[in-house]
Amino acid sequence: MLSNITIGQYFPGQSFIHKMDPRAKILATMIFIVAIFLAETVASYAVIAGFTIVTLAVSRLPWRLVWASIKPLWIIIVFTMGIHVFTTPGTVLWQYGWLHISEEGVRMGSMMAARLVFLIVFSSLLTYTTSPIRLTDGIEHLLAPFKRFGVPAHELAMMMTIALRFIPTLLEETDRIMKAQESRGADFTTGSIVKRAKHMIPLLVPLFISAFRRADELAVAMEARCYRGGENRTRMKELVITGYDYIGMACIIGVTLLLIVMRWFV
């Protein structure tokens, strides 16, 4: 069910990853995403897989959360893999008319699917181990240098975090509306694609109304509490770089350098 999707949720804990500064985690995630695209060999993918598994073990997150972050996007992963498997030229392993599977296609498709899995898992790790408030502060601090160019750092950080935070809420609302519509005879699982699309209209209308209502309630609540972001805003907990962050960044930079060496010097 949609309620089992965990994108954007925070899982409290006291692990090494939880204790890292959000700025360090955001930068580490960005560096690791770039590092993933440096991998070209089986050995380099093994390094990325090993580092991801170790990081998940250190974070002490339940493995069901990791699976829950991948499960909703399995169609995209399989579709991406299929495109490379059936369109990459090379040594033909199977052919039926114009449709063929090549050895190079299987290799490229597997690597692209692995890249997507690593991207999803490591990005989800950031939201699982960072509360929305600390994530907002981290993004705002990283965007602060761009204020001199007129970039509204606080507003952008707040919008991004609120959007991320409300993904689970909207999914729960969607699941609740679907159950209500199904109890009235609606069918979202059978029929052609066009028929399913028509059946989605009774679902989208109340969902949009609910989303706008929640946005209005949030705005009223923030104004009632005299919320003013940006300049002169104080924080209950200031962000501080600690030894956890230096160790974490050293590990991520070390893995990136290893992948660079494996790609261009081995």
C-alpha to C-alpha distances, 21 to 43, 166, 235, 243, 248, nearest whole angstrom = 31, 23, 15, 10, 10
Q: Are 8 and 168 in contact (CB under 8 A)?
A: yes
What is the C-alpha separation between 91 and 145, in angstroms, rounded? Answer: 51
pLDDT at 46 over 90: yes
What is the C-alpha separation between 260 and 34, in angstroms, rounded? Answer: 11
DSSP one-letter string for 107-161? HHHHHHHHHHHHHHHHHHHHHHTS-HHHHHHHHHHHHGGGGGGT--HHHHHHHHH
What is the C-alpha separation between 251 and 27, in angstroms, rounded? Answer: 12
Of 53-67, 147-161, 240-254, minimum mean pLDDT range: 147-161
Beta strand 92-96 with 99-102 is antiparallel
What is the C-alpha separation between 224 and 216, in angstroms, rounded? Answer: 12
Quote the number of domains for the chain: 1
Q: Which domain holds residue 93?
A: 2-264
Q: Which two tokens stand for residue 41?
A: 């060999």
Which pLDDT score, from 0 to 100, does residue 230 have? 62
Max mean pLDDT range (120-129, 159-168, 199-208): 120-129
C-alpha 128, offset from chain centre:
10
pLDDT (mean) for 201-209: 83
pLDDT in tens, 72-105: 788 889 898 988 888 888 888 888 777 888 888 8
What SS3 string covers 156-209? HHHHHHHHHHHHHHHHHHHHHHHHHHHHCCCCCCCCCHHHHHHHCHHHHHHHHH
Instruction: State pTM to two decimals.
Output: 0.79
What average pLDDT does the chain have? 85
Which pLDDT score, from 0 to 100, does residue 5 have? 55
**Residue 155 banded pLDDT, cuts 50, 70, 90:** confident
Map residue 102 onto helix, strand or coil.
strand
C-alpha to C-alpha distances, 213 to 170, 190, 222, nearest whole angstrom = 12, 31, 14
DSSP one-letter string for 32-45? HHHHHTT--SHHHH
